[in-house]
Amino acid sequence: MTNEYRKTPEAVSALTDTQYRVTQQEGTEPAFRNEYWDNHEAGIYVDVVSGQPLFSSTDKYDSGTGWPSFTKPIESDAVTTTTDRKLWMRRTEVRSSGADSHLGHVFDDGPRDAGGQRYCMNSAALRFVPAEELEAQGYGAYRDQFDDDPTTTEENAS
C-alpha cells in the first residue's frame, strides 16, 4: 500500500454532514437507509475521505443487517482495527489505514467458508467506483478482480 491516502483539510471540509459524523465522529447511519447496503454492482469501495481502496464487491454479501457487509478488505493493510467499548459492549472498530476514517465494525459471524468475518461498514464512509470506471478513476490495478462484463452482479449477493 502507498502512503498517498491521507486525510486533508480540503477532503474533510467537502464531506456531507452524515459523512463527517460517521468518519470523523465515529457515528453510525441507519440500517437499510443507506446508499450501498443493497448495491449489487461490480466494483470497489474506497474511503470517502482519502480515496483509499478498501473493499471489493467480490467480497460483499447480504448479511441481512442493512449495512454493506464484506468478508475481507481489498488489501490486508487497507484497514486497522481497535477495541471499541461504546454502547456498553466490546466491539472491534474498523478504520481506514490511510486517513484513519471510522468505517464501521468487524464481527465473527460472517460466512464460515469465507473466513467467518463480517466487515459491517457505513455507506457514508465509502464511495463506490464501478468496475467499468476503475481505470478512468485511477484504480486500474483492481480491474483484474472482475470478469469481462463489469455490469454483472456479484454471485454472492444473495
What pLDDT, in 10s, does the model give residues 3-45? 589 999 999 999 999 999 999 999 999 999 999 999 999 999 9
Query: Does residue 92 sit within a domain?
Result: yes
Please say if the pLDDT value at position 75 is more than 80: yes
The partner residues of 70 in beta bridges, in order of sequence, read: 60, 119
Q: Where are the alpha helices (DSSP H) in the chain?
A: 9-13, 17-25
DSSP state of 155: G
Query: Does residue 145 sit within a domain?
Result: no
**What is the extent of the structural domain holding 99?**
9-131
Please say if the pLDDT value at position 1 is more than 80: no
Query: Does residue 142 sit within a domain?
Result: no
Q: How many CB atoms lie within 10 A of CB 71?
A: 21
Backbone angles phi, psi at 140, to 5 degrees: -60, -25
What is residue 149's predicted lDDT score, i.e. its pLDDT?
Answer: 53
What is residue 112's predicted lDDT score, i.e. its pLDDT?
Answer: 97
Q: Which amino acid is at 44?
A: I
Query: Does residue 148 sit within a domain?
Result: no
The partner residues of 107 in beta bridges, in order of sequence, read: 118
Task: Write down the catalytic residue from 94, 120, 121, 125.
Answer: 120
Backbone angles phi, psi at 13, to 5 degrees: -70, -20
The pTM of the full predicted model, rounded to 2 decimals, is 0.89
Cell numbers at residue 66, please? 442493512
Query: Does residue 47 sit within a domain?
Result: yes
Q: Is 120 a catalytic residue?
A: yes
Query: Taking a C-beta distance cutoff of 8 angstroms, is the pair 132, 83 a contact?
Result: no
CATH at 89: 2.170.150.20
Question: How far is the C-alpha of 135 from the C-alpha of 125, rounded, in Å?
Answer: 22
Query: Does residue 29 sit within a domain?
Result: yes
Q: How many CB atoms lie within 10 A of CB 95?
A: 19
Total domains, the chain: 1
Query: Taking a C-beta distance cutoff of 8 angstroms, is the pair 19, 121 a contact?
Result: no
Query: Does residue 2 sit within a domain?
Result: no
- Tens-place pLDDT, residues 78-132: 999 999 777 667 889 999 999 999 999 999 999 999 999 999 999 999 999 999 9
Query: Does residue 44 sit within a domain?
Result: yes
What is residue 84's predicted lDDT score, i.e. its pLDDT?
Answer: 78
Q: Which residue has the higher pLDDT, 144 or 155?
A: 144
Question: How far is the C-alpha of 127 from the C-alpha of 69, rounded, in Å?
Answer: 14
